[in-house]
């Protein structure tokens, strides 16, 4: 029995083709990923009674448009979650709640991105009047999405803990160790620390190789009751516990914990509800939209103490193939591509099913997935059976 009011299983995993170039139709990407996830589960569109999408940018099809494409007869619940959630994992967190509560029986969740919509570095035309909270940021050149925020956090982290950038470089290098084993990944060449340290700055001290890599692609997941999933196509993987987190005085810049955002309360709440502990985790899939976010999560999740990431990561081998805590085994968003949250969930489930091919972590029974950052945190513990 999990901490949820009804036991919930992750029953189907699907991906579209993932590409670095071109302008594929987002409807095609979404249809391909959702259809693949349903096939993987042994289900059809006719079985679906809930659809949740995580969205920013207008280009992806809505939950209703997707229902039409897959032939869902009617939806008991649906939402297009705008970009204030824990990245794409938000759609799965809502899907789990919908099934656990009994509102839905079988839910499809998805995230579809194209390079164009995901690109945050565009040059604006100018002259805007800002009536919202951005008026305290953007007139000062806080631009490029949250790039400046992450650059500020990286410099503060290094100063506060007396560390060097190599700590974050270990995460960039780890991504490529794993992506070399993942045919889906778009960046598969190995990286050296010199490559990391010589990569250009986006907003000093944030480097290009601290940032994830934009792609065209869609990821989908099928969520249903554990009871139903036992009769479906795949080995059973269930949700043990989950939580969101925002942190206090909720804000990207002015929140009460500038170095960790909502990661710490999110992880504490999730573990308090879980049947396992951080020490039981066999494989971890942790958000890497920026390398320092992974470092925040590693500490918040309790894999080491607060401020101890640099010592803990060592030469980086412990999170690589054969390490004691294999992490981001798909290559993550840094190397598989920026598929935004759900891709971490799908990789965790593939590991727990024993279907991760060359990347398989032997005997993996407990996985943690953590996604998002600052006021937009979410995490899940998954177990076999």
Partner 1 sequence: MTETDVRSMDLRPRPEPNETNAFFWDAAAGHQLVLQRCDACSQFQYPPDVACVHCQCTELTPTEMSGRATLYSYAVVDRLFHVGFASVLPYVVGLAELDEQAGLRMLTNIVDTRPEEVQIGMPLEVCFEDRGEITLPQFRPRGDA
| Between 22 and 127, CB nearer to partner 1 | 127
Stretch that binds partner 1, among 237-245, 250-258, 310-318, 356-364 (CB under 8 A): 250-258
Tell me if 336 sits within 8 A of 253, measured CB to CB: no
Tell me if 18 sits within 8 A of 186, measured CB to CB: yes
Question: Binding to partner 1 by residue 146, rule CB under 8 A?
Answer: no
Q: How far is the CB of 246 from partner 1 (least distance, A)?
A: 13
Q: How far is the CB of 20 from partner 1 (least distance, A)?
A: 21
Stretch that binds partner 1, among 43-51, 199-207, 222-230, 343-351 (CB under 8 A): 199-207
Q: Kindly tell me which residue out of 256, 275, 277, 358 binds partner 1, with binding defined by CB under 8 A.
A: 256
b/e map of 74-86 (b: 16 or more CB within 10 Å)?
ebebbbbbeeebb
Question: Binding to partner 1 by residue 140, rule CB under 8 A?
Answer: yes
HSE, side-chain direction, 13 A CA sphere, residue 373? 22
Question: Binding to partner 1 by residue 116, rule CB under 8 A?
Answer: no
HSE, side-chain direction, 13 A CA sphere, residue 191? 29
Question: Binding to partner 1 by residue 117, rule CB under 8 A?
Answer: no
Alpha-carbon distance 143 to 1, whole Å?
46
Q: Kindly tell me which residue out of 116, 204, 227, 357 binds partner 1, with binding defined by CB under 8 A.
A: 204
Question: Binding to partner 1 by residue 362, rule CB under 8 A?
Answer: no
And the tokens for 120?
Answer: 């945050």
Q: Kindly tell me which residue out of 1, 22, 124, 183 binds partner 1, with binding defined by CB under 8 A.
A: 124
Q: Kindly tell me which residue out of 10, 70, 202, 211 binds partner 1, with binding defined by CB under 8 A.
A: 202
Subset of residues 303 to 332 that bind partner 1, contact rule: CB under 8 A: none
Q: How far is the CB of 247 from partner 1 (least distance, A)?
A: 12
Q: How far is the CB of 245 from partner 1 (least distance, A)?
A: 18
Count of Cβ atoms closer than 10 Å to residue 285 Cβ: 29
* Among 221, 177, 263, CA closest to 347: 221
| Between 18 and 373, CB nearer to partner 1 | 373
User: C-alpha distances in angstroms, 181 versus 233, 265, 301, 315, 330?
Assistant: 25, 34, 26, 20, 8
Question: Binding to partner 1 by residue 6, rule CB under 8 A?
Answer: no
Residue keyed to tokens 């999170």: 319
Q: Kindly tell me which residue out of 192, 201, 275, 277 binds partner 1, with binding defined by CB under 8 A.
A: 201
Alpha-carbon distance 253 to 148, whole Å?
10
Stretch that binds partner 1, among 165-173, 185-193, 196-204, 290-298 (CB under 8 A): 196-204
Q: Kindly tell me which residue out of 29, 79, 148, 186 binds partner 1, with binding defined by CB under 8 A.
A: 148
Question: Binding to partner 1 by residue 128, rule CB under 8 A?
Answer: yes
Stretch that binds partner 1, among 14-22, 135-143, 305-313, 343-351 (CB under 8 A): 135-143
Alpha-carbon distance 223 to 51, whole Å?
10
Q: Kindly tell me which residue out of 20, 44, 68, 156 binds partner 1, with binding defined by CB under 8 A.
A: 156
From the number of C-beta atoms within 10 Å of its C-beta (0-12, 13-18, 19+), residue 69 rates as: middle
Strands 106-113 and 50-54: parallel
| Between 71 and 254, CB nearer to partner 1 | 254
| Between 84 and 135, CB nearer to partner 1 | 135
Question: Binding to partner 1 by residue 162, rule CB under 8 A?
Answer: no
Q: Kindly tell me which residue out of 253, 273, 312, 317 binds partner 1, with binding defined by CB under 8 A.
A: 253
Residues 6+ apart with CB under 8 A from 198: none
Q: Three-state DSSP class for 344?
A: helix
| Between 143 and 276, CB nearer to partner 1 | 143
First to last CA, the chain: 10
Alpha-carbon distance 63 to 76, whole Å?
12
Q: How far is the CB of 170 from partner 1 (least distance, A)?
A: 22
* Among 148, 302, 277, CA closest to 211: 148
Using CB under 8 A, list all residues that contact partner 1. Answer: 121-131, 133-144, 148, 151-153, 155-156, 159, 201-206, 249, 253-254, 256, 258
């Amino acid at each position: 029995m999990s901490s949820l009011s009804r036991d919930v299983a992750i029953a189907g995993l699907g991906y579209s083709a993932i590409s670095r170039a071109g302008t594929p139709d987002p409807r095609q990407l979404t249809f391909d990923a959702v259809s693949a996830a349903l096939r993987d589960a042994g289900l059809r569109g006719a079985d679906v009674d809930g659809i949740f999408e995580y969205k920013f940018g207008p280009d992806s099809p809505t939950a209703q448009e997707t229902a039409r494409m897959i032939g869902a007869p009617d939806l008991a619940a649906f939402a297009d979650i705008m970009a204030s959630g824990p990245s794409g994992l938000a759609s799965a967190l809502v899907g789990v709640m919908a099934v656990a509560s009994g509102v839905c029986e079988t839910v499809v969740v998805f995230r579809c991105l194209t390079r164009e919509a995901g690109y945050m570095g565009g040059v604006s035309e100018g002259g805007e009047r800002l009536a919202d909270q951005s008026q305290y940021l953007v007139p000062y050149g806080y631009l490029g999405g949250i790039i400046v925020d992450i650059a500020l956090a990286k410099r503060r982290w290094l100063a506060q803990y007396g560390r060097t950038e190599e700590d974050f470089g270990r995460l960039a290098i780890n991504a490529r160790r794993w992506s070399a084993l993942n045919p889906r990944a778009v960046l598969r060449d190995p990286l050296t620390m010199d490559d990391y340290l010589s990569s250009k700055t986006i907003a000093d001290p944030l480097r290009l190789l601290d940032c994830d890599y934009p792609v065209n692609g869609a990821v989908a997941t099928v969520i249903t009751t554990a009871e139903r999933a036992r009769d479906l196509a795949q080995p059973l993987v269930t949700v043990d516990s989950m939580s969101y987190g925002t942190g206090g005085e909720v804000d990207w810049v002015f929140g009460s914990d500038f170095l960790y955002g909502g990661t710490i309360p999110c992880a504490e709440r999730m573990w308090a509800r879980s049947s396992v502990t951080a020490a039981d985790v066999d494989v971890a899939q942790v958000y890497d939209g920026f390398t320092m976010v992974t470092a925040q999560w590693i500490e918040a999740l309790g894999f080491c103490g607060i401020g101890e990431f640099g010592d803990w990561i060592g030469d980086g081998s412990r999170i690589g193939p054969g390490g004691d805590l294999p992490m981001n085994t798909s290559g993550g968003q840094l190397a598989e591509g920026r598929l935004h949250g759900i891709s971490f969930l799908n990789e965790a489930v593939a590991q727990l099913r024993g279907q991760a091919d060359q990347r398989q972590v032997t005997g993996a029974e407990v996985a943690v997935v953590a996604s998002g950052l600052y006021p937009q945190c979410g995490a899940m513990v998954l177990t076999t059976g």
